[in-house]
Amino acid sequence: MSAILVAGPAVEPVTLAEAKAHLRLDSGDEDALVASLVAAARHTLELATRRAFVAQTWRLRLDRWPEGRAVALPLAPLIAIVAVRVSPLSGPAATLDPGTYRIVREADPPTLTVDAAVADAGLPSGGIEIDATYGFGAAATDVPQPLRLAIQRLVARWFERRGDGDDAVMPADVAALVRPFVRPRLA
């Protein structure tokens, strides 16, 4: 199983103006740095929580349907399933009718269960593709405030230290803000 980013977020959860206000920066001299720190902080916290913050589309590739045909999706929260495709041994992939699978968005992890009548992939590897959109919403303001504040605090820490110190350790205040959003690891 592999997950590939198909379309990243259109906006960051924290705007450049919000980050600069948090840092108390008035000039635009370091806008590029601050913007890159916001993107890096979002990415770091998405990895730590195993959640997508702002709407983004990912492709999950499977070799075969799992036992019970229930696929645990890799991220949360799930906004929508875009497409489910199954590739035969030769020819183009067939897109499944949404009536042939069920989605449980509220589960953690969200799951997609495929009907038994759906054929297995004919290709030996990567013959099943599930495109799904994850995130709290399309707008920055859809992201819960504790996560937005965690991004701002992480940006401030990185901006102030600029590589001095141990950046590999999640600061305690940031960890406390994201702790309620951390998804458990699958066995």
67 and 8 in a common domain: no
154 and 94 in a common domain: no
Predicted confidence (pLDDT) per residue in 131-163, tens digit: 999 999 999 999 999 999 999 999 999 998 876
CA distance 11 to 42: 11
Q: How far is CA 156 from CA 134, 141, 145, 150, in A?
A: 27, 20, 16, 10
Quote the number of domains for the chain. 2
104 and 119 in a common domain: yes
| Last residue of one domain, picked from the residues 99, 115, 134 | 134
Percentage of the chain modeled with pLDDT above 70: 95
Percentage of the chain modeled with pLDDT above 90: 78
Arithmetic mean of pLDDT over the chain: 92
Q: What is the CATH number of the domain that holds 24?
A: 1.10.3230
114 and 160 in a common domain: no
pTM of this structure: 0.89
